[in-house]
Amino acid sequence: MPHPFDSAHRGARPAASPAARRSLRLAAAGLAALTIPLLAGCSQTVPFDAAPEASDTACADVVVRLPDAVADLAKRETNAQGTGAWGSPAVVLLRCGVTPPGPTTDRCVTVDGVDWVIDETDAPRYRFTTYGRTPAVEVVVDGDAVSGTTAITDLASAVSAIPPGDGCVGADELDLDGTAG
């Protein structure tokens, strides 16, 4: 009888049992299930310029609370401190440490306890900046790809790590004639 490693029998394999074939298929499926997400997770880092106050510890408090998904878009890696990005391509961008806005006539909304000033000058690209929080957080949203309201709602919990100071006021709350109302 020839030796199993004899050159004449190289390449010939004994038939595997059905249980062995099933185990092999399960192992291959498991390997694929682990490998595909790793390869999908190899998307490029989103380039950013850090905001002037990105090193503020309050920004670190925000960043560690950022959700894994915003508007059902997966979080992406960024290359700057105090930042976050979601979507591929990135359609929701966050920078903590921007200069807080002063009084403005731009629309100001309150979402889940966070006041946001909305800059619509580049619509459908909208810039939301927290009002009354220092440092301020800026979120830029591509309105063609995602709802700005959904994005800032999903981010409100993380942004709430920065305590509020002032808040949005409506025209009915302003003292325009100099008398207390």
Task: For 84-128, write each residue's pLDDT tens digit.
Answer: 999 999 999 999 999 999 999 999 999 999 999 999 999 999 999
Using DSSP's 3-state secondary structure scheme, residue 81 falls into coil
pLDDT band, very low/low/confident/very high, at 177 (cuts 50, 70, 90): low
pLDDT band, very low/low/confident/very high, at 166 (cuts 50, 70, 90): confident
> Residues 30-55: what's their mean pLDDT?
68
Distance CA(93)–CA(85), nearest Å, equals 5
Parse the chain into domains and list their residue ranges.
13-40, 57-159
Question: How many CA atoms lie within 13 Å of 12's alpha carbon, on the beta-carbon side?
Answer: 9
Q: 65-71: long-range contacts at Cβ-Cβ below 8 A with a sequence spacing of 24 or more? A: 65/157, 65/158, 65/161, 66/94, 66/155, 66/158, 67/154, 67/155, 67/157, 67/158, 69/154, 70/146, 70/150, 70/151, 70/154, 70/155, 71/146, 71/147, 71/150, 71/151, 71/154
